[in-house]
């Protein structure tokens, strides 16, 4: 699936469980590839659940899942690449308004070769099955970044919701203690127009992810430990944060997955129909929807 070549070019390589490339992968990853193939088949959802992938981390209401994503050698190679980039004098932006340390995958040049195929070939079928009501079937862009926690840098992350319809968070390493993720309830009240597809979110006007002061929805948080190479899937509106790092360094790849079909109607950050300005790349995941074409000839 994903291979790191010496020389540190990282890319996504499609595998189908029967191709030559999959011979090099550890067994667990091969069976995972097969499972993902099954998950992408809408006729087979029950079979997939019987096979136990991905593992639900919570009861039905939180809908948080764990899923294997990268092999340990790939995580190691990616970490090395991230550190080279960090040490370089290349221009660097912050991953988001909450994290001060980390890397934007776009700036590293890994958005197109790694994250887009990961979204299109791996996450899309899985998310369509797990979150059909939250944009899962319509994911069409992302913002991907690595967050880094270390002593003297960021150590924890306050409770927030993401600027995403759905989120993948993969632990890359290194060795560390603490830093577990915690999840509360869904950030939701009624949407202003009641026209939103999927979950509705709290009515606030904030352009970026919002830190919250100990909301009641966090009374009984679900704690999720990191497992290197494994990803946690959750809805963007699921309140969450990261506990303080104890020792070591923690690096996680976070992919905010976006579905323009959902957010064009109701921005998940401000709960309004968004006012759009043109941007480069994926921007914030919105698209301009052209009015439907009318065939004038057909009217005459």
Site residues, ligand AKG (CB under 6 A) = 96, 99, 147, 157, 162, 169, 181, 240, 242, 252, 254
Q: Would you count residue 162 as binding Fe ion (CB under 5 A)?
A: yes
Q: H or E element: which one contains 187?
A: none
| Minimum CB distance to Fe ion, residue 98 (Å) | 8
169 binds, among Fe ion, ligand AKG, none (CB under 5 to 8 A by kind): ligand AKG
Which does residue 96 bind out of Fe ion, ligand AKG, none, counting CB within 5 to 8 angstroms by kind?
ligand AKG
256 exposure class (CB count in 10 Å sphere: 0-12, 13-18, 19+)? buried
Q: How many CA atoms, within 13 angstroms, populate the side-chain half-sphere of residue 57?
A: 21
CB nearer to Fe ion: pick between 22 and 97: 97
Whichever of 48 and 161 has its CB closer to ligand AKG, that residue is 161
Nearest alpha carbon to residue 73 among 144, 1, 171, 3: 3
Nearer to ligand AKG, 25 or 145 (CB): 145
If the CB atoms of residues 1 and 147 are measured against ligand AKG, the closer one turns out to be 147
Instruction: Quote the tokens at residue 2.
Output: 């994903």
Per partner kind, with CB cut-offs from 5 to 8 A, the member of Fe ion, ligand AKG, none near residue 157 is: ligand AKG
Quick one: which of 225, 24, 254 has its CA closest to 13?
24
| Site residue total, Fe ion (CB under 5 A) | 1
Residue 284 binding target from ligand AKG, Fe ion, none, CB below 5 to 8 Å by type: none
What does 63 bind: ligand AKG, Fe ion, none (CB cut-off 5 to 8 Å by kind)? none
- Least distance in angstroms from the C-beta of 44 to ligand AKG: 31
Of 67-75, 146-154, 160-168, 277-285, which segment contacts Fe ion by CB under 5 A?
160-168
DSSP symbols for 243-278? PPEEEE-EEEEEEEEE-HHHHTTS-TTTSSPPPP--
Long-range contacts of 31-40 (CB under 8 A, 24+ apart): 32/1, 32/68, 33/1, 36/122, 36/125, 36/126, 39/125, 39/126, 39/129, 40/125, 40/126, 40/128, 40/129
The SS3 of residue 143 is strand
Stretch that binds Fe ion, among 155-163, 173-181, 274-282, 283-291 (CB under 5 A): 155-163
Cβ 287 to ligand AKG shortest distance, Å: 22
Shortest Cβ 115–ligand AKG spacing (Å): 15
Structure tokens at 84: 């080279």
Q: What are the residues binding Fe ion (CB under 5 A)?
A: 162
């Amino acid at each position: 699936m994903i291979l790191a070549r010496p020389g540190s070019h990282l890319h996504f390589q499609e595998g189908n469980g029967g191709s030559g490339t999959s011979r090099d992968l550890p067994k667990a990853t091969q069976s995972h590839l097969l499972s993902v193939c099954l998950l992408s088949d809408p006729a087979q959802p029950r079979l997939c659940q019987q096979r136990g992938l991905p593992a639900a981390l919570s009861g039905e209401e939180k809908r948080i899942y764990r899923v294997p994503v990268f092999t340990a050698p790939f995580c190691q190679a990616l970490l090395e690449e991230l550190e080279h980039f960090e040490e370089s004098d290349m221009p660097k932006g912050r991953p988001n308004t909450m994290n001060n340390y980390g890397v934007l995958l776009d700036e590293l040049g890994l958005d197109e070769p790694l994250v887009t195929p990961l979204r299109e070939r791996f996450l899309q079928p899985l998310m369509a099955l797990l979150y059909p009501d939250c944009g899962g079937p319509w994911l069409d862009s992302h913002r991907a970044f690595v967050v880094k926690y270390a002593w003297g840098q960021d150590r924890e992350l306050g409770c927030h919701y993401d600027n995403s319809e759905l989120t993948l968070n993969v632990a890359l390493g290194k060795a560390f203690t603490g830093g577990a993720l915690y999840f509360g309830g869904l950030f939701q009240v009624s949407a202003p127009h009641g026209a939103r597809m999927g979950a509705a979110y709290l009515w606030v006007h904030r352009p970026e992810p919002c830190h919250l002061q100990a909301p009641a929805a966090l009374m009984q948080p679900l704690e999720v430990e990191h497992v290197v190479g494994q990803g946690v899937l959750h809805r963007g509106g699921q309140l969450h944060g990261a506990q303080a790092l104890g020792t070591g360094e923690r690096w996680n790849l976070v992919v905010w997955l976006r579905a323009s079909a959902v957010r064009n109607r109701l921005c998940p950050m401000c709960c309004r129909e968004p006012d759009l300005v043109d941007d480069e790349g994926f921007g914030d995941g919105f698209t301009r929807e052209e009015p439907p074409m009318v065939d004038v000839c057909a009217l005459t």
